[in-house]
Amino acid sequence: MAVISNTTTIIDAGAISPATAGSMNLIKSITASSSGTITFTHGDNGVIFDGTYDVYVFKFINLHPQNENVDFHFQVDTGTNSNFNQPIVSGATIPYHNEADNASGLDYGTDMSQVGTAFQGLLDNASPTGNDSNGGGSLTFYSPSSDTFVKLFAAQMFGQGHGDYFAAYKTSGYVNTATALTKVRFKYAGGNIDSGEIKLYGVKG
Amino acid sequence: MGLISAGATIFDNGVLNHGKMTFIKKLTASSSANLTFVDGASSVVLDGTFKEYMFTFKNIHPASNNVSFQVNFRDGSTAYDAPKIATFFDAFHQENGSDSGLRYDAGGNTFDAPGTGVQVLNYNMGAENDGNLGGYLTLVNPASTTFQKMYSSSINYQYLNTYSIKTHADGYCNTAAAIDGVQFTFSSGAIAAGDICLYGISG
């Protein structure tokens, strides 16, 4: 059953229309299960990543890698392209502290900063050491469908890496293209995403 | 009355079933020794209902001068003593413009290695009338009985009437036990005024 009010579709096919829902709306949740990549593509499987919202937020819950000391990263693409090699300019700050309490500090994240087309780091040297280790956080895109501006992004991530280290990864930058983005891909630099969830929200302005 | 569309429950029992940021509880300080959120008490939800929770701080004002705003978590008992490992850094700028910078600040090992003690969220906060702090703390999947519990905070405040400081305290509760209570205090004296709101991020 659909609910239509004054010609506006409020509810249909088991979902509330994004145009009529709240200010921050869940668009899509994908659960990893030994997944090589997780990709959100506008128009596929209910994913919205266009001008419907001005701001999109990905949230990462209990990401757990298959392999030891691997980076978790993302890239984007435009139109129907699927090379995931858009130009990115980025920088990162990383406060860190180990459980042994003999090393701590604040670094500029050289390994997570780039001017290039590589996958952009979100977590550095993530580790599956111990079943309880995991990473999480959020990645925000601002107006990814703009055909005028470069596409700004900001990530606030945290997790266990380099063995028994906690680190917070505060990465931001822009995709240096005026072309609208249509898809975002996440993966580890090696091995699968053993488990975890990635959720995409749209935020109304 | 409920509404079901294509087999999916849209709303039932007065609850709209849709992914969003849901307001759960607001606590307003009034010379309060602490502000505490406990799952199941006073309509607080802090369990597996949401995968992420966010606390927001608005105009938090201490009763005493030169104090730290702090948080702790409970992990299976009534004590707020979950083991933690953390990082702490801040950006600062003096009101007279003579000093500014960015620094990792261990606070003599108390800010970034709190153990089972409180997690400091800011420091040397003044109690002048217009002094206050604002910001947020997120807590990821506190009901998990598998993973460590990641938390991340960011606070803006006035340092002893002389600096604007932005602090970042991030860490994890190093336990697989579920976190079901969160308590906010000042290091000395009461929370004179201010609001803390708890939201759940669903989906």
The pLDDT tens digits of the residues spanning B189-202 come to 999 999 999 999 98
Residue B10 is predicted with a pLDDT of 65
Is A25:A201 a contact under the CB 8 Å cutoff? yes
Q: Which residue has the higher pLDDT, B2 or A79?
A: A79
**CB-based contact B4 A1, cutoff 8 Å:** yes
ipTM: 0.78
Is-contact B68 B186, C-beta < 8 A? yes
Residues of chain B with pLDDT under 70: 1, 5-19, 203
The residue among A127, A134, A139, A200 with the most chain B CBs within 10 A of its CB, best to mutate, is: A134
Give yes or no for residue A101 having a pLDDT over 60: yes
Distance CA A53, CA B137 (A): 25
A48 and chain B: CB distance < 8 Å anywhere?
A: no
Q: Would you tell me which residues 75-94 of chain A have a C-beta closer than 8 angstroms to some C-beta of chain B?
A: 93
Mean pLDDT of A57-72: 93
Tell me the helices (H) and strands (E) count for chain A, helix number first.
0, 16
> Are A24 and B52 within 8 A, CB to CB?
no
> Residue A112: helix, strand or coil by DSSP?
helix
At A126 the three-state DSSP class reads: strand
Residues B133-164 have pLDDT tens digits of: 999 999 999 999 999 999 999 999 998 878 98
pLDDT recorded at residue B8? 62
The per-residue pLDDT of chain A, averaged, comes to 90
Distance CA B192, CA B60 (A): 8
Contact A23 B21 (CB under 8 A): yes
pLDDT of residue A179: 97
Q: What is the DSSP string of chain B?
A: --EEETTEEEEETTEE---SEEEEEEEEEEEES-EEEETTSTT---STT-SEEEEEEEEEEESSSSB-EEEEEESSSSS----EEEEEEEEEEETTSS-EEEEE--TTTTTT--BTSPEE---SB---TT--EEEEEEEE-TT-SSS-EEEEEEEEEEETTTEEEEEEEEEEE--SSPP-EEEEEESSS-EEEEEEEEEEE--
Among the partner residues B7, B89, B148, nearest to A133 by beta-carbon distance: B148
Smallest Cα distance from A146 to chain B, Å = 24
Question: Which pLDDT belongs to residue B9?
Answer: 65
Q: Is some CB atom of chain B closer than 8 A to the CB atom of A136?
A: yes
Helix (H, G, I), strand (E, B) or coil at A110: helix
Q: How many CA atoms lie within 13 A of B185 on its CB side?
A: 13
Indicate the range of A129-133, A134-138, A154-158, B15-19 predicted with least confidence. Answer: B15-19
Residue A99 phi/psi, 5° resolution? -65, -25
pLDDT tens readout for residues A8-44: 676 777 666 655 556 788 999 999 999 999 999 999 9
